[in-house]
Amino acid sequence: MAMGGGSGNGPMSEINVTPLVDVMLVLLVIFMVTAPMMTTGLDVNLPQSKGGALDESTPPIIVSITGQSDIYVNEQRISLDRLAVAVQAEHHGQTKPQVFLKADKTVPYGVVIQVMGALKAAGVEKLGMVTEPPAPTEG
């Protein structure tokens, strides 16, 4: 009689889980490598500020201005004259939509003011300016 625990004709009572563990570890490594690459967004070089975080209880409308002065509403590129219509279409009946403006720090001041004026014409009463926190100083 063999030490395996029975005759060779019956069903095997032990399951080899080594291949399962190998496959799961490979999948874990694949997801760990690819997860940081799945973030999407616009490349906007934000200025730094010491202001606090804004309330995000309702999903905000994000208006972005890239370094080339391209305007985006929630990652959809639009022109300045269509900005008011796009923002009104995005707030889906909210009485006071929350709009955040992300402007690259290299964008001319006049372009930012034009976008802010178009947002005001769209009925936006509260506009949040998105910045990055200042880099910690060594010392």
- Domains in the chain: ranges and CATH: 61-129 (3.30.420.270)
Task: Report the alpha-carbon distance of residue 39 to residue 69 in Å, rounded.
Answer: 23
Cβ–Cβ < 8 Å for 118, 83: yes
Which pLDDT score, from 0 to 100, does residue 1 have? Answer: 44
* SS percent in the chain: helix, strand, coil, step 5: 30, 15, 55
Which pLDDT score, from 0 to 100, does residue 39 have? Answer: 60
State both tokens at 31: 């997801």
State both tokens at 43: 């490349």
Task: Report the alpha-carbon distance of residue 97 to residue 58 in Å, rounded.
Answer: 9
Which pLDDT score, from 0 to 100, does residue 83 have? Answer: 85
Which pLDDT score, from 0 to 100, does residue 93 have? Answer: 66
Strand ranges of the sheet holding 61-65, from the earlier edge strand across to the other edge: 76-78, 71-73, 61-65, 99-103, 127-129
pTM: 0.56
Q: Classify burial at 34, counting beta carbons within 10 Å of its beta carbon; exposed 0-12, middle 13-18, buried 19 or more.
A: exposed
**CA trace torsion 85, 86, 87, 93 (10° rounding):** 80
Kindly give the confidence (pLDDT) of every residue in the chain, 139 residues in length, as a single tens digit, with 9 standing for 90 and above.
445 555 567 777 788 889 999 999 999 998 888 877 666 565 666 666 666 665 556 678 888 888 888 888 888 888 888 888 888 787 766 667 788 888 888 888 888 888 888 888 888 877 888 877 777 766 5
Which pLDDT score, from 0 to 100, does residue 25 have? Answer: 94
